Structure 1
Amino acid sequence: MRPAWTILLPALFLCIGFAPAVAQSGGDRGIRPDDPNPPAFLATSFDLTTMTSPSPPDDGAAQEAVQGPVDAQGPLPPDADRERRYASLGSRIGAAKWETIGLFAYITATQAYWTDGTTHFHFKDEGWFGRNTNNLGIDKLTHAFNAYLFAEFLGARMARKTQDRARAAAPAGLLSIGLMLYGEMWDAHKKDSGFSVQDVIFNTGGATFSVLRHTVPGLEEKLDFRLLMMPNSQVYTFKGKRHYEQQRFLLSLELAGFQGLRDSPLRFIELQIGYRGKNFTNAERAAGIRPERDIFFGVGLNVKQLFFRDSRSRLGRAIGSGLNYFQLPYTAVHVH
Structure 2
Amino acid sequence: MRCKRLSLIFACALFTTPLSITPLSASNYYEHFSSLPKEDKVMWSNMAGVALISTWGITTWDYGSQSPHMEGDAWFGKNDKHGGMDKLGHFYTNFTLSHGLSYLYQSWGYETQRATLLGSLSAFGLMGFMEFGDSFGGHGFSRQDFIMNTLGAITGYIFLTRPELTKRIDIRVEYIPGGQRDIFTDYENMKFIVALKLDGIQSVRNRYLKYLDLQLGYYTRHYSAESQENKERNIYIAVGINLSHVLHNMSHKKTAKFFNYYQMPYTYIDRSKNLNE
CA distance in 1, matches of 2:95, 2:83: 20
Deviation string, structure 1 residues 81-100 (Cα, Å, up to 9, x no partner): xxxxxxxxxx9865633432
> For residues 200 and 281 of structure 1, do their structure 2 counterparts lie closer, same or farther at Cα, with a shift above 3 Å needed?
same
The residue matched to 1:237 in structure 2 has which SS?
Answer: coil
Instruction: Give the aligned residue type for 1:121.
Output: P
Q: TM-score, normalised by structure 1?
A: 0.65
The reply on whether 1:293 has 2:256 as its aligned counterpart is no
Corresponding residue of 1:56: none
Contact 1:256 1:266 in 2 (8 A): yes
Contact 1:93 1:158 in 2 (8 A): no
CA distance in 1, matches of 2:95, 2:189: 19
Corresponding residue of 2:29: none
Which of the numbers 216, 237, 252 marks the counterpart of 1:273?
216
The residue matched to 2:141 in structure 1 has which SS?
Answer: coil
Corresponding residue of 2:54: 108
The residue matched to 1:118 in structure 2 has which SS?
Answer: coil
Bigger shift: 142-151 or 239-248? 239-248
**Greater gyration radius:** 1
Instruction: Give the aligned residue type for 2:174.
Output: L
The reply on whether 1:319 has 2:255 as its aligned counterpart is yes
Which of the numbers 181, 190, 193 marks the counterpart of 2:128?
181
Corresponding residue of 1:39: none
Number of residue pairs the alignment of both structures matches = 241
Corresponding residue of 2:265: 329
The residue matched to 1:272 in structure 2 has which SS?
Answer: strand
Q: Which runs of 5+ in 1 are unaligned?
A: 12-90
Instruction: Give the aligned residue type for 2:55.
Output: A
| Offset of residue 215 of structure 1 | 1.3
> For residues 240 and 310 of structure 1, do their structure 2 counterparts lie closer, same or farther at Cα, with a shift above 3 Å needed?
closer
> For residues 114 and 295 of structure 1, do their structure 2 counterparts lie closer, same or farther at Cα, with a shift above 3 Å needed?
same
Q: Give the helix-richer structure, 1 or 2.
A: 2
CA distance in 2, matches of 1:95, 1:238: 31
> For residues 261 and 129 of structure 1, do their structure 2 counterparts lie closer, same or farther at Cα, with a shift above 3 Å needed?
same
CA distance in 2, matches of 1:230, 1:333: 17
| Offset of residue 262 of structure 1 | 7.4
Corresponding residue of 1:14: none
Contact 1:92 1:168 in 2 (8 A): no
Contact 1:271 1:298 in 2 (8 A): yes
Deviation string, structure 1 residues 81-139 (Cα, Å, up to 9, x no partner): xxxxxxxxxx9865633432332232122111113461211111211111211211111
The reply on whether 1:309 has 2:249 as its aligned counterpart is yes
CA distance in 1, matches of 2:166, 2:112: 11
Q: Which runs of 5+ in 2 are unaligned?
A: 16-36, 273-277
Which of the numbers 59, 74, 78 marks the counterpart of 1:131?
78
CA distance in 1, matches of 2:41, 2:112: 12
Corresponding residue of 2:66: 119
The residue matched to 2:129 in structure 1 has which SS?
Answer: helix
> For residues 129 and 103 of structure 1, do their structure 2 counterparts lie closer, same or farther at Cα, with a shift above 3 Å needed?
same
Give RMSD over aligned pairs. 2.7
Instruction: Give the aligned residue type for 1:245.
Output: E
CA distance in 2, matches of 1:282, 1:263: 46
Q: Percent identity?
A: 28
Corresponding residue of 1:200: 146
CA distance in 1, matches of 2:148, 2:154: 10
CA distance in 1, matches of 2:128, 2:239: 35
Contact 1:271 1:299 in 2 (8 A): yes
The residue matched to 1:169 in structure 2 has which SS?
Answer: helix
| Offset of residue 206 of structure 1 | 1.0
The residue matched to 2:73 in structure 1 has which SS?
Answer: coil
